[in-house]
Structure 1
Amino acid sequence: MDNLVTLLELAYSAGSPFISHVMRLGFQREVQEECGWLSFLHGWCVCVADRLVYLNATIEELEYCSNNMFAAQLLVALKSGDDVVFADAIMYFKAIRDFEAQKLENLQLFLTASEMQLTRRMQFVARFDVM
């Protein structure tokens, strides 16, 4: 029943009794939805990439402080055993960075697949434009 209602709504919106016009409008709507989805995915990729930059900077600072305890002492008061704390913190942030890097890679693969799907849908719209 939902498909029939959708078809009737498309036919009414197309303003034409011809199925080619109805199909063209349907594919145009799908293209618009996909464009919105791609925009969302792209924004998500940017957010994860920014997080990776932040994590890399944090790791570099921790490694610098771990390797140069005098510089670390200028920033904070150190106790015995703080070198272990630095090592644990570096490992923790590296694990998070590796997870975020894998997430970004997966998002980029998904973005590529979505772009291919959008291209395919745009080809269908172009076919109906010719009719």
Structure 2
Amino acid sequence: MDSLVRLLELAYSAGSVSVVDSMRLAFEREVQEEQGWFSFLYGWCVHVADRVAYLNGIIQELEFCSNDMSVAQLVVELRSGDGLVFADSVMYFKAIRDFEAEMLANMQLFLQASAAHLGRRMQFLARFNVM
């Protein structure tokens, strides 16, 4: 029943009872939905890439401070054992950065697959637009 209602809604939206017009409208909607998803996914990839760059900056600063404690001492008061705190912090942020970088790589693969899927849908829509 749900499929029949959807088909009638498509026919009404298309302003025609022609199957070709209804299918064209259905594929247009699919393409629009897929473009929205692709745009969202691309934005999320940019966000994660920015996080990886930010974490790289933090790691570089912590490594610099741990290698040159006199620089760190200008900013914060150091106590005995703070070198270990720097080392632990570097390891912690590297673990987070590695996780984010792996997530970014997986998302980029998914983005490529989504682009291919969107391309196929657009080709299918182009066939119906020709009719």
TM-score by length of 1: 0.98
Q: Which amino acid aligns with 1:102?
A: E
Instruction: Supply the distance in 2 between the matched residues of 1:60 and 1:4 (Cα, whole angstroms).
Output: 60
Instruction: Supply the distance in 2 between the matched residues of 1:130 and 1:54 (Cα, whole angstroms).
Output: 48
Give how far 1:39 is off.
0.7
Give how far 1:17 is off.
1.3
Instruction: Supply the distance in 2 between the matched residues of 1:23 and 1:48 (Cα, whole angstroms).
Output: 37
Corresponding residue number in structure 2 for 1:92: 92
Corresponding residue number in structure 1 for 2:42: 42
Q: What SS does the aligned partner of 1:46 have?
A: helix
Gaps of 5+ in 2: none
TM-score by length of 2: 0.98
Instruction: Supply the distance in 2 between the matched residues of 1:3 and 1:88 (Cα, whole angstroms).
Output: 58
Q: What SS does the aligned partner of 1:78 have?
A: coil
| Count of aligned pairs between the two proteins | 131
Q: Which amino acid aligns with 2:12?
A: Y
Give how far 1:118 is off.
0.5
Corresponding residue number in structure 1 for 2:58: 58
CA RMSD of aligned residues (A): 0.6
Give how far 1:3 is off.
1.1
Instruction: Supply the distance in 1 between the matched residues of 2:9 and 2:70 (Cα, whole angstroms).
Output: 72
Give how far 1:16 is off.
1.0
Corresponding residue number in structure 2 for 1:72: 72
Q: Which amino acid aligns with 2:16?
A: S
Instruction: Supply the distance in 1 between the matched residues of 2:97 and 2:14 (Cα, whole angstroms).
Output: 49
Alignment of 1:28-39 (within 5 A): 28-39=28-39
Instruction: Supply the distance in 2 between the matched residues of 1:109 and 1:89 (Cα, whole angstroms).
Output: 30
Q: What SS does the aligned partner of 2:16 have?
A: coil
Instruction: Supply the distance in 2 between the matched residues of 1:105 and 1:3 (Cα, whole angstroms).
Output: 38
Gaps of 5+ in 1: none
Q: What SS does the aligned partner of 2:85 have?
A: helix
